[in-house]
Amino acid sequence: MGAAVLDLLLPSSCAACGRLGAAACEGCLAGLGRGPVVVRPGVAALSEHAGAARELVLAYKERGRRELAAPLGRALGRVVPTLAQARPDSGGTWWLVPVPSRPSASRVRGGPHVTALARWCAAELAERGQAAAVAPALRLSGRVRDAVGLGRAERVANLSGRVGVVPAGVPAPGTPVVLLDDVVTTGATLDACARALSRAGVRVRAALTLTAAPAPRRS
């Protein structure tokens, strides 16, 4: 009842267009549902990092709109089974590995935001009759710095030796997994995560993000 009263006093509005109602209105979410953008073989995004899609991602990631985890995560779940190279395991379970955030960023954002997306992604798959599991198998060193504005070579150097596995969260060796993240820019983070999982015997079959942003221009 308390939540219902709060909704009446402070009605939600779309994080992209401001329309009263859902945190992400159907019109703005539609841009994330037209089919994945292939970034390169094995890596896809729901949309380009522009327009309403960009506003939704920024609102979730940087502006505290944590209620967007559900609609954004469910949008990922609708696309995972369509990825050309993605596969469930031999028992039919889709394994989802969220890309980790820097520890300091997680504290500011109220927790690992991509893990929240992965859980809603798994919920969407389950509601569609497909078993899914979230494997929090990766961690970032506190020495990783913010990658905003960095080119690919700088991002690779920034991540070198700083992506590790969490033994308790790693699926069994040989398990096919799908990496999930919010934004792909140069792909350096996805590559570093895939290498870390490979060393643990886990094969990344595909990676899916909410949006794909152009790499920064370097002078």
Give the number of other Cβ atoms within 10 Å of residue 154's Cβ.
16
> Looking at beta carbons, which pairs linking 45-48 to residues 24 or more positions away fall under 8 Å?
45/183, 45/184, 45/208, 45/209, 45/210, 45/211, 45/212, 46/75, 46/76, 46/79, 46/208, 46/209, 46/210, 46/211, 47/210, 47/211, 47/212, 48/211, 48/212, 48/213
Three-class secondary structure assignment of the chain: CHHHHHHHHCCCECCCCCCECCCCCHHHHHHHCCCCEEEECCEEEEEECCHHHHHHHHHHHHCCCHHHHHHHHHHHHHHHHHCCCCCCCCCCCEEEEECCCCHHHHHHCCCCHHHHHHHHHHHHHHHCCCCEEECCCEEECCCCCCCCCCCHHHHHHHHCCCEEECHHHCCCCCCEEEEEEEEECCCHHHHHHHHHHHHCCCEEEEEEEEEECCCCCCC
* Dihedral over Cα of 166, 169, 174, 178: its sign: negative
- Residue range 145-194, pLDDT digits in tens: 566 655 667 665 556 567 888 999 999 999 999 999 999 998 889 999 99
What pLDDT is attached to residue 8?
A: 41
Tell me, what's the pLDDT at 105?
Answer: 64
At 74 the pLDDT is 97
Residue type, 193: C
Enumerate residue ranges in the chain where pLDDT < 50: 1-9, 219
Q: How many CB atoms sit inside 10 A of residue 107's CB? A: 10
pTM: 0.87
Which domains, and CATH codes, for the chain? 36-212 (3.40.50)
**pLDDT score of 1:** 47
